[in-house]
A = this chain, B = another copy of it.
Amino acid sequence: MDQLLANIKIQVNEKIYVKDPESTTLGRKIIKHSLIIMDEIGFDNFTFKKLGERIGSNESSIYRYFENKHKLLVYFSSWYWSWIEYKMVFATANIAAPLDQLLKALELVTEKIEDDLNTPYLNEALLNKIIIAEFTKTFLTKEVDEENKEGFFLIYKRVISRMVGMVVMIDPEYPFPKSLISSIVEGALHQHFLKDHFKTITDCNENTSPTAYYTDLIQRILSPKS
């Protein structure tokens, strides 16, 4: 798995960037340090000027890669879900039982991520933190419908659809497979946020993970009727 990841390139919709940041040194520097700065000061306070200062590059050079910081965030989320999808396909490929497939997939979308050392310019653990804190901002905009048409959220929706397929195999009678999965994928990010900031309204903490909560939930909802 780790080695496989070293040999593939995560695909991101070309309309998201002006110039592929993975193709040059400066591009990879932009990716790497954007994540670090966004983690430090948050997406809202992040600017291309600050990034330029940090990497010793000109603001205008950064605009050659991304139109604006919104697109950069969309790039990160697209990369993230593409990476999750890749891991999901491989991790579930040789599992026969749909319920076991689903539990494996669930683990991937709900767990806390650790850095994958195959991509030195992109720290996945940091990316996961950014996704938890900022992902909803990619689509909670007035431009969401246009950007959706452009395919900016395709991979995210495909990850959900894969899991929906598993649910349908497990229980074809269950009436809300799509809402179940979309609320789990979004909800897992939210539970991670809550355990760090609003501890009083979550059961998740160092000992109990969002994975545990959702694994239990899935089993209660989809367990075969007796």
Taking beta carbons and an 8 Å cutoff, which residues of A are in contact with B?
41-42, 44-45, 133-134, 136-137, 139-142, 144-145, 148, 153, 157, 160-161, 164, 175-183, 186-187, 190-191, 193-194, 197-198, 200-204, 208, 210, 213, 216-217, 220-221, 226
**Residues of B contacting A226 in the complex (Cβ-Cβ under 8 angstroms):** 226
Known contacts: A178-B201, A198-B153. The answer to whether A41 contacts B213 by CB under 8 A is: no
Known contacts: A183-B187, A186-B190, A191-B183. The answer to whether A148 contacts B178 by CB under 8 A is: no
Known contacts: A160-B201, A203-B179, A216-B176. The answer to whether A136 contacts B139 by CB under 8 A is: no
B178 pairs with A182, CB closer than 8 A: no
A210 pairs with B136, CB closer than 8 A: no
B44 pairs with A161, CB closer than 8 A: no
The 7 closest A-B pairs by CB, nearest first: A42-B142, A183-B187, A182-B201, A179-B203, A176-B203, A179-B213, A176-B213
**Residues of B contacting A198 in the complex (Cβ-Cβ under 8 angstroms):** 139, 148, 153, 157, 182
* 13 sampled A-B residue pairs with Cβ under 8 A: A41-B142, A134-B140, A140-B193, A144-B197, A161-B200, A177-B203, A179-B204, A179-B210, A179-B213, A182-B191, A183-B191, A187-B187, A220-B221
